[in-house]
Amino acid sequence: MNTKDLYQEFILDHGTNPRNKFKLAVFNRNTVGFNRLCGDSVHIFINCNNQNIDEISFLGEGCAICIAATSVMTEILKGKSEQDSLGIIRFFLNFVKKSNIENSSALNVLDSNKLKAFQSIANFPMRIKCATLPWLTAEIAIQNKVKEINIEDYN
């Protein structure tokens, strides 16, 4: 376990140059997730039609892990069905805690490889919530449940 496993080039790239970091002009789902321990927050915007995520974007403040996780997530979930997305989210949430990859059928090889970059977070227990925050927030947004979540209340 070392810092370089955590801060891989791929994560640093997404953490410092995030993709899809803007507010969608048209969206029908949005949820803000925050982590009261560190002050990180992500606001997820989704435009869903016919149970499909047509567009997804975010605004937020956070550490490189949090921003990278959000950026990669938006790339992966864009164009997926709601059901597949919820499956991928659950897969990721288990994966970052245990770091063993059991393939999710909804994930293609490209997506799987992207997620592998987050593998070593399991060795940094204090940082797991940095990575799970956007995924939990997206899960709530897709389910159109609530507009604001505190990560402490979710797993």
Partner 1 sequence: MTFKNIKDEFPIFKNKVKGKNLVYLDSANSSQKPKSVINAVSQFYSNEFANVGRGIYTLAINASEKYENTRTNIKKFIGANSNYEIIFTKNATESLNLVASCFGSKFIKKDDEIIITELEHHANYVPWHFLRKKIGAVIKFLPIDLNGNLKIEELESLITSKTKIISVTHMSNVTGTISPLEQIVSIAKKHNIPVCVDGTQGAAHLDVDLEKLDCDFYVFSGHKMYGPTGVGLLALKYKWLESFEPFLGGGGMIDYVSKKDIAYAKGVWKMEAGTMPTAEVIALNESVNFINKLGKDKIISHEANLTKYALEKLKNNNSVKIVAQPNQQGGVFSFNIDKIHSHDVSTILDQEGIAVRGGHHCCQVLHEVLKINSSVRVSFGVYNTEEDIDLLCEGIKKCQKIFQK
Is the CB of 33 or the CB of 91 nearer to partner 1? 33
Which residue do the tokens 């919530």 mark?
129
Residues 95/118, Cβ–Cβ less than 8 Å: yes
Any bridge partners for residue 42, and if so which? 33, 60
> Structure tokens of 45?
């915007």
CB atoms < 10 A from the CB of 7, how many?
Answer: 15
Is the CB of 6 or the CB of 48 nearer to partner 1? 6
Q: Which stretch binds partner 1 (CB under 8 A): 2-10, 24-32, 44-52, 91-99?
A: 2-10
CA-to-CA distance for 70 and 57, rounded, in angstroms? 9
For residues 78 to 107, the per-residue mask of contacts with partner 1, x marking binding by CB under 8 A and - elsewhere, is ------------------------------
For residues 113 to 142, the per-residue mask of contacts with partner 1, x marking binding by CB under 8 A and - elsewhere, is -----------x-xx--x------------
Helix (H) or strand (E) holding 53: strand 52-61
Is the CB of 44 or the CB of 65 nearer to partner 1? 65
> Structure tokens of 135?
């995924």
Residues 33/134, Cβ–Cβ less than 8 Å: yes
Q: Which stretch binds partner 1 (CB under 8 A): 56-64, 72-80, 98-106, 143-151?
A: 56-64
Binding residues for partner 1 (CB under 8 A)? 2-4, 6-7, 9, 12, 15-16, 37-40, 61-67, 124, 126-127, 130
